Amino acid sequence: MKKLLAMGLTLGLFLTASAQETETDSIPNGWKTDGNIQLLFNQSAFNAEWTGGGTSSIAGNLNLNYDFNYKMDDFTWDNKILANYGLTKVKGDDFARKTSDRFELNSVAGKEINNSNFYYSWFLNFRTQFAKGYEFSEDAETGETIRTETTHAFSPAYLQTGPGIMWKKGDDFMVNLAPATARFIFVDKAFTSGPEYMDGDYFGVDAGEGMRFEFGASLTALAAFDIVENVRMENSINLYSNYLDKPGNVDIDYLMNLQMGINEFLSANLLFQAIYDDNAVGAFQIREVFGVGFNYKF
């Protein structure tokens, strides 16, 4: 089932890209940069006399999307930084809680093959988080909220790199297949060193270790396009199969970013992400963030 889902998502992105009636971009030599920062707010408030029920809350999300690409004749080097961090505070709760926390760097270099849309390529992907992550529970006697640290910056952190073949049509449509990809999963040994820790329980890392090495195949695809004026959708997906352990369990990381411009400084933004990684949890991780806020393009 996971294989079919992975192939279906990949095929959908590829067909979306192929369906666009866009000619290959005439990109000049040199550096090209493009970036966007968004600060999104969500807030709700209820007074004591409100009979419909509800809890006051406030939330904020800061998003960064930055591209810095280089081209020189038949050589291209594309780089993208994605970063977001969000918190929400509910009235009566002892702690603020994260709604999003991600830092990701994608980099792929390509050498064009015979004036086609195909390239010999080498890619690198790095992702981690900014702040500590917690599991929340309640003290049975006092009723107070208890939080237990489960992750923090660089625990986990993922690094993937390897050679491959890339199909690219401009800056907005790309598919890269890397059949010999090295993958490193880094964690803090403090999470793998407890007396009851079992090998693989924390992001697949063995007891007492701070890293897990994998070798497999990676497929990355990007499709970005304007739906209507001032409404732009970006889709990206990364699939990974580990040859060394359960190659049929394909890891999936899909991200959709829908940007809806109101004016030069105000915008609405919808993020949807689905992750499957059975080293972390044997189920899909889903997050969705929607908000209206300030927008700055640079």
What is the DSSP code string of 135-155?
A: EEEE-TTT--EEEEEEEBTTB
138 pLDDT tier (thresholds 50, 70, 90): confident
Q: 108 near 171, Cβ under 8 Å? A: no
Q: How far is residue 180 from each of residues 117, 186, 222, measured CA to CA in Å? A: 21, 20, 20
pLDDT at 190: 95
pLDDT at 167: 96
Q: How far apart are CA 48 and CA 11, in angstroms?
A: 52
Q: How far apart are CA 226 and CA 208, in angstroms?
A: 49
Q: How far apart are CA 199 and CA 204, in angstroms?
A: 7
Reported as type and span, the H/E element at residue 110 is strand 97-112
Average confidence (pLDDT) over 251-259:
93
105 pLDDT tier (thresholds 50, 70, 90): very high
170 pLDDT tier (thresholds 50, 70, 90): confident
The whole-model pTM stands at 0.86
Reported as type and span, the H/E element at residue 17 is helix 2-19
pLDDT exceeds cutoff 50 at 1: no
What whole-number percentage of the chain has pLDDT above 90?
A: 64
pLDDT at 156: 96
**Is the sign of the CA dihedral 213, 135, 146, 87 positive or negative?**
positive
pLDDT in tens, 212-251: 999 999 999 999 999 998 899 999 999 999 999 999 999 9
pLDDT exceeds cutoff 70 at 79: yes
Q: How far apart are CA 283 and CA 285, in angstroms?
A: 6
pLDDT in tens, 11-62: 455 545 444 444 445 678 999 999 989 898 888 888 777 877 778 889 999 9
Mean model confidence pLDDT for the chain? 88
Among 72-76, 91-95, 103-107, 192-196, the range scoring the smallest mean pLDDT is: 91-95
pLDDT at 287: 87
The radius of gyration computed from the CA coordinates of the chain, to the nearest angstrom, equals 21
What whole-number percentage of the chain has pLDDT above 70?
A: 91
Q: 168 near 159, Cβ under 8 Å? A: no
129 pLDDT tier (thresholds 50, 70, 90): very high
Read off the tokens for 56: 């006051």
pLDDT at 125: 97
Read off the tokens for 24: 């290959």
pLDDT at 23: 45
